[in-house]
Amino acid sequence: MKLTDPVSKIRFVGKKYQKRLKNLDIETVSDLIHHYPTRYKDFSKISEISSLLAGEPATIKGEILEIKNIFTRRGKKLTKAIVADNSGTLLLVWFNQHYITNTIHQGDTFYFSGKLKNFSGQPAFLSPQYEKADSPAKHLTKDNQNYQSSNLVHTGRLVPIYPETSGVSSKWLRARIKAVFENLEQKPKDPLPKIIKEEYNILNLNKALKFIHFPNNQKEIKRARNRIAFEEMFWFQLQTLRKRRQWQKQKPAARIFLSAKQKEKIAKLIGSLPFKLTNAQKKCIAEIQKDMEKETPMNRLLQGDVGSGKTVVAVIAAYTVALAGKNTAYMAPTEILAKQVYRTFEKYLKPYDIKLSLQTGSSPQTAVRTPHTARRKQQKAEGGSPFADVIIGTHALLHRKEILKNLGLVIIDEQHRFGVKQRAKLLDSNNIKEKTPHSLTMTATPIPRSLALTSYGHLDISTIDELPPGVKPTKTWVVPEHKRSAGYKWIKRQLSTSSNQQSADLKNQAFFICPLIEESEHETLKDVKAVTTEFERLKAIFSEFEVGLLHGQMDSEEKEKTARNFRQGKIQVLVATPVVEVGVDIPQANIMVIEGAHRFGLAGLHQLRGRVGRSGQKSYCLLFTPKKGKTTRKRLKALEEHNSGLELAKIDLKMRGPGELYGAKQHGIPEFDFASLSNLDLIKTTRAAAQKIINEINNYPELKKYLNTKHIAPN
Ligand code: ADP
Ligand code: MG
């Protein structure tokens, strides 16, 4: 039997089982031996019948004195047997398994594993596992003998329990896996390089497989799991590092060395801002400008809590690029955000003769402006035919290749909202093929160290770890259902007053966010219906106030009008879906109400509440959830106590895992069997190991091939 054979080659695996195994993603012999047990039952101790202790798992070996099938008075099928060893006898009982008498006969010697329980006042093993004692494995050859530390599979040992599916039990799997190892022509090839295994004291594959399926003791299980976890994380790290290397092989569309005069221009722009940059913002700008000088294009992730001021960093990056005669494309996740960003850029850059263009689904080409002639000449000379220095838009940008020319920088805002493919497309759309624009992605989702070293390991990360001065933490409560109406009352009182320092006419404002119903990045019709219903409900409750509705399916004029009315204080309560809302800058809003809060990750909730209290006023966040469970409450309560997005992300990572937190598939976080993103030691070790190998990857053709067949795609 070969590893590549389909499972149907295995004895007792017909069409029916082939189909069932497919539910477990097992199609080949190799898949089967890489189907790992999740736990083990410890039946390793073989005891004498007389020394059995009630309730403790144990195995006995004995001769069947008597076995019979019976029907109880109530018509239940029982099988009863008496087994004896040198120390005594024991009753065995099975339920609804009359076929057992076909296998176990009087006079046979068997192993039985179970726990001593009480059966009608008598000590007994109930439904014990059984295995014939005198049945050596049939096709033992020298090569596969080492899988056979013991011939026992189901009893008298650490018995593996596998992920099962309907019609495929652990017992069945154990028997098949054992048979496979007895009939394999060749040992599985170990893809891990020897020097890595030696340096990190990692088991070879063959041993690891033996230990994982047929362990002799707990230590073997541990070593096997360590090896598999190491391998899983090692592949992931190799992928990430290879991505990084591939990026680094590219030539930047522009290496930007600023002249003294240009530096002065940038300083002038910074000096004209209505606020002083925070030190964190300055540090990030410097990191970006340094990257732009390098031989390889920038690939940087700018991370900072909501309201930390990422936009202005992007403005300065774009200005830097414009001074070098190159264009910037800025992709925002929604139209409202694109417009908001456009307004910000306009405000800051217009006085400096930078041409902007807004490209959204609903703003056709007419919005594109022609750039300044002097620069246009320079750009033409470089082969481009630019329309504007900075092009801002939504994903609609992706379909406007003709305007994405002469790109020196691509900025992607709220990067987690875009899929891997969309991002690749934008970077790829630049028509100067042999040169790559610098890439700056921005996110308010905090990146814990474990992710920075894995999924995001191919990116350089800048962090704005400081909020603009004066911004206070948002007071947060998880509100139980029975306090809902009291909560509404409180909100009404708030809405009747003003916290605005400039103008007492501007009353307080509240967001009400409804969660998306389905697990999807995009709003569905169902979501729209839910948010509309909620809107009607709240309109009745808050009848004395102006209530507005905002969702993704509204036409863009309507959306823009609602957002504007909210910004100007004409609307006091805005009911919205999270898709529309994230990133919207409404400085005077101070109350954030979130329905179905359990549906969000903590970092997501933190981002949402980061939307209020932006102008230094007192702000509040009320979290509603119909869930009464302790874990949900505990998780949400973390928001009452913690005020750092990073801290909250860490807590969520622990409680829910990276998949829930970041949308695993979308972000190329693979599903591991044993590796874990909370194991920082493993992450660091495998990263070091991968770094060692990646530089000599060509010396490991097998490894390279293997790597290509692993479909992990970190973003
Ligand atoms: P985000 O990081 O969430 O994208 P924004 O760039 O939208 O944050 O900034 C949020 C608000 O903070 C904006 O109104 C912006 O003008 C303001 N802001 C940005 N930087 C500073 C600063 N250094 N000092 C004061 N206010 C700032
Ligand atoms: Mg932003």
Ligand 2 centroid to Cα of residue 445, in Å, is 11
Q: Do 285 and 459 meet the contact criterion of CB atoms below 8 Å apart?
A: no
Report yes or no on whether pTM surpasses 0.85. Answer: no
Ligand 1 centroid to Cα of residue 282, in Å, is 13
Question: Which residue's structure tokens are 């495929």?
Answer: 168
**pLDDT computed for residue 601 by the predictor:** 84
* Residue among 310, 312, 412, 474 whose CB has most ligand 1 atoms within 8 A, to mutate: 312
Burial 373-395 (b: 16+ CB within 10 A, else e): eebbebbeeeebebbbbbbbbbb
Ligand 2 centroid to Cα of residue 582, in Å, is 8
**Rounded to whole angstroms, how far apart are CA atoms 196 and 190?**
12
Quick one: which ligand is closest to 303's CA? 1
Ligand 1 centroid to Cα of residue 309, in Å, is 3
pLDDT digits (tens, 9 = 90+) for 433-468: 568 899 999 988 888 888 889 888 889 999 999 889
**pLDDT computed for residue 199 by the predictor:** 94
**pLDDT computed for residue 376 by the predictor:** 54
Please, is 706 exposed, middle or buried when counting C-beta atoms within 10 Å of its C-beta (0-12, 13-18, 19+)?
middle
Ligand 2 centroid to Cα of residue 488, in Å, is 29
**pLDDT computed for residue 73 by the predictor:** 84
> Which residues make Cβ contacts (< 8 Å) with residue 547, sequence separation at least 6?
535, 538, 539, 571, 572, 573, 574, 575
Residue type, 311: T
Q: Cα dihedral sign for 367, 370, 372, 378?
A: positive
**Rounded to whole angstroms, how far apart are CA atoms 703 and 241?**
14
Ligand 2 centroid to Cα of residue 539, in Å, is 29
Quick one: which ligand is closest to 315's CA? 1
**Rounded to whole angstroms, how far apart are CA atoms 483 and 625?**
12
**pLDDT computed for residue 214 by the predictor:** 93
Count CA atoms closer than 13 A to 348's CA, side-chain side.
Answer: 25
What are the pocket residues of ligand 1 if the criterion is a CB atom closer than 6 Å to any ligand atom? 275-278, 281, 304, 306-312, 444, 468, 585, 587, 614
All residue ranges of the chain with pLDDT < 50 are 135-149, 364-371, 382-385, 431-432, 664-665, 711-715
**Rounded to whole angstroms, how far apart are CA atoms 577 and 302?**
25
Using alpha carbons, select from 351, 360, 296, 297 the residue that is nearest to residue 319. 351
Question: Which residue's structure tokens are 């948010």?
Answer: 531
pLDDT digits (tens, 9 = 90+) for 89-110: 999 999 999 999 999 999 999 9
Residue type, 261: K
Radius of gyration of the chain (CA): 32
* Residue among 276, 308, 472 whose CB has most ligand 1 atoms within 8 A, to mutate: 308
- Tokens matching residue 128: 């014990």
**pLDDT computed for residue 420 by the predictor:** 53
Quick one: which ligand is closest to 337's CA? 2
**pLDDT computed for residue 294 by the predictor:** 96
**Rounded to whole angstroms, how far apart are CA atoms 588 and 613?**
7
DSSP string, 614-628: TTSS--EEEEE-S--
Quick one: which ligand is closest to 348's CA? 1
Give the position, in ligand 1's atom list, of the atom nearest the Cα of 614.
11
Q: Do 601 and 457 meet the contact criterion of CB atoms below 8 Å apart?
A: no
Which residue has a Cα nearest atom 24 of ligand 1?
A: 468
**pLDDT computed for residue 383 by the predictor:** 44
Q: How far is C-alpha 399 from the geometric centre of its chain's CA atoms?
A: 28
Give, for 426, the enclosing helix (H) or strand (E).
Answer: helix 420-428
Burial 27-57 (b: 16+ CB within 10 A, else e): ebbbbbbbbbbeebbbbbebbebeebeeeee
